[in-house]
Amino acid sequence: MAALYPPIEPHARGHLAVGDGQEIYWESSGNPSGKPVLFVHGGPGGGTAPAQRRFFDPERYRIILFDQRGCGQSRPHIADGADLSVNNTAALIADMEKLRVHLDVERWQIFGGSWGSTLGLAYAQSHPERVTELVLRGIFLLRRSEIDWYYNGGAAHIFPDVWERYLAPIPEAERSGDLVAAYHRLLTGPDPAAAQRAASAWTAWENKTSHLLPQQDSDQTDRFALAFATIENHYFVHRGFLDEGQLLTDVGAIRDIPAVIVQGRYDVVCPMRSAWDLHRAWPEAELVIVDNAGHASLEPGIAEALVTATDAFATSDHATRGGHR
């Protein structure tokens, strides 16, 4: 945490009605007249946390966080019966644009990791004229190979003990098939207790595999786990509502936007192959490989690289650096 800026509190916050009966939570901290940056959280379904304000210099940035539909402090929450049918990538992109207009921001930096990198890329490719820079971490392109690696058995070769706990809620007869689909039946089925057990196991799998070195068990609530697992699984069943390889195919739309990609060498959740493929398609973006890190944004090397990127862009002339290190 030494690389991060000190904790700060928001100077403004609220809920924005975005249609479909949804209200997204947003907050702004740092310098109200500073350079706008939008933090795009992971999951999907992960929500935001106070530590995420700390990747940015509060003297130079207007730091905007928001909770995506159905999670965090947005309303209604999945645990309160939020409608999944109106939760998709196009809707989230539209929500981000409505928030930009609501906050009277002309252009902003997009900062996102894991699913936040997916949604950040999708937003930038849809609205490149609204993006000053991109800072992306733990690249997730939502290709079938990435889903299969992490949720259908690939990563089990590295974490076989944790994998057994991931398998536990699934009936034995379904464990040789598509596990994402099996989890979908549990998470959206008629038994609330079974859904909660599945949500807790799904969330624990990600928590236990996100760091290079083992961490203590998190104290995340059942409410958090239910939103995280249900929304995440919903998106993965639908392949992120993206065409296969779409974020690579459409990279030309953002080629001229300055960008830094930060990737942990030993990221099991979002292996480095995806960051490398993105960098090969988009060599103008700088790729920073952190050799002593996994997936989590608060691992020391990852946090340091992210803050270095935001510090550089705080006074950037928008020159593209390119290359990798």
Q: Which residues are catalytic?
A: 114, 267, 295
Q: What is the DSSP string of 178-241?
A: -HHHHHHHHHTSS-HHHHHHHHHHHHHHHHHHSSSS--PPP---HHHHHHHHHHHHHHHHTGGG
Phi-psi region of 245 (alpha: psi -120 to 50; beta: other; left: phi over 0): left
Beta bridge partners of 75: 23
Q: How far apart are CA 143 and CA 235, in angstroms?
A: 12
In this structure, what token pair is assigned to residue 275?
A: 């960051």
In this structure, what token pair is assigned to residue 311?
A: 């510090």
Tell me how far apart the 2 most distant CA atoms of the chain are, in Å. 58
Q: How far apart are CA 297 and CA 155, in angstroms?
A: 19
